[in-house]
Amino acid sequence: MTRAALAVSHWIDGRPAEVADLAAALVNYGHFSTLQVRGRAVQGLDLHVTRLQAGNLELFGSALASDAILAAMASALAAADIDDATLRIAAFSRDMPAVERGEAVPVVLLVALSPPRQPPTAPLRLASHVYVRALAHLKHAATLPMLHARRQTVLAGYDDALLVDADGTIGEGALWNVGFVAGDTVVWPIAPALRGTSERLLQRALETAGIAQRHARVGLADCAGFEAAFACNSGGLRAVAAIDGWRFDADSAVPGRLRALLAAQPWMPLEGAH
């Protein structure tokens, strides 16, 4: 029987994070990755590690060893004595003046553990929201505009926000990637966006299964040409029922097949991984 996280806890080097640690982490400069842990294993672990290493070089100018990333996550799970969780690993610096001077600085890895998540089964009803994230290719700490976009769309009666540019070109969701299905082909929008680990993991699965996929500019006006749409992030894959006034086939079996492909991807153990 596995032990799941029941509440939120924060860890650094296998010890509970202190107030001073959390205060330094509140500075809106850093990057992170969020993943689901089951039995102390992760799907697409290599993708998360690569993302963290690339983000660290760009934001802090310093290399981040894969062993350090894996040890930070594994030690937090061991100290908390849990096997299943939603895990967020964030990198920040205690020396922001050095960061601002452009120096290469070491980072602290803060691990947050919270209860494991499963995506809701109800399809999403989305409203378009004009916003393109700054440094969209990075999973950085500046999430306020996306969360505010989600809040506004929920207040308007929708489930979440779909981010588009001023011309209506679709980029990504507030905190997830979006894909479309035309016939037997999965279509990924080309636009400034964070290329999420679940999106990349699904692309791997589609390639292995021999399912066609392509990348293309997708505008709101193009929704009429797609049979189905879906959203995916670290929580899993969820069907999209509507975008603004356009409705997709709510009974389409495609999101379910994609969800099964994603679920079948291998789980990589944190301990002993390199």
pTM of the model: 0.93
Residue 35's pLDDT is: 96
Q: Where are the alpha helices (DSSP H) in the chain?
A: 19-25, 45-60, 66-80, 96-100, 144-155, 197-209, 254-263
Residue 272's pLDDT is: 63
Q: Is the pLDDT of residue 274 over 60?
A: no
User: What mean pLDDT do residues 131-157 have?
Assistant: 95
126 or 3, which is more confident: 126
The torsion angles phi and psi of 79, rounded to 5 degrees, stand at -65, -35
Q: Is the pLDDT of residue 273 over 80?
A: no
Give the number of other Cβ atoms within 10 Å of residue 204's Cβ.
Answer: 15
Provide the pLDDT confidence category of residue 225 given band limits of 50, 70 and 90.
very high
Q: Is the pLDDT of residue 251 over 80?
A: no
pLDDT, one tens digit per residue, over 207-221 is 999 999 999 999 999
pLDDT, one tens digit per residue, over 26-71 is 888 999 999 999 999 999 999 999 999 999 999 999 999 999 999 9
Provide the pLDDT confidence category of residue 119 given band limits of 50, 70 and 90.
confident
Specify the DSSP class assigned to residue 225. Answer: G
- Angle ∠(43,178,211) on CA atoms, nearest 5: 70
State whether residue 231 is helix, strand or coil: strand
Answer for the pair 40, 273: CB distance below 8 angstroms, yes or no. no
Which two structure tokens, joined as six digits, stand for 229? 């749409």
User: What mean pLDDT do residues 14-28 have?
Assistant: 88
Percent of the chain with pLDDT over 70: 97
pLDDT, one tens digit per residue, over 147-167 is 999 999 999 999 999 999 999
CA distance 178 to 172: 6
Provide the pLDDT confidence category of residue 23 given band limits of 50, 70 and 90.
confident
Contacts (Cβ under 8 Å, ≥6 apart) of 178? 162, 170, 172, 189, 229, 230, 231, 240
Strands 170-173 and 177-182: unpaired
| Structural domains of the chain ordered from first start | 9-114 (3.30.470.10), 124-263 (3.20.10.10)
Residue 253's pLDDT is: 81
Provide the pLDDT confidence category of residue 1 given band limits of 50, 70 and 90.
low
Provide the pLDDT confidence category of residue 24 given band limits of 50, 70 and 90.
confident
CA distance 174 to 193: 10
What average pLDDT does the chain have?
Answer: 94
The torsion angles phi and psi of 177, rounded to 5 degrees, stand at -95, 160
Q: What is the full DSSP assignment across 117-156?
A: ----SSPEEEEEEE---TTTTS-BS--HHHHHHHHHHHHT
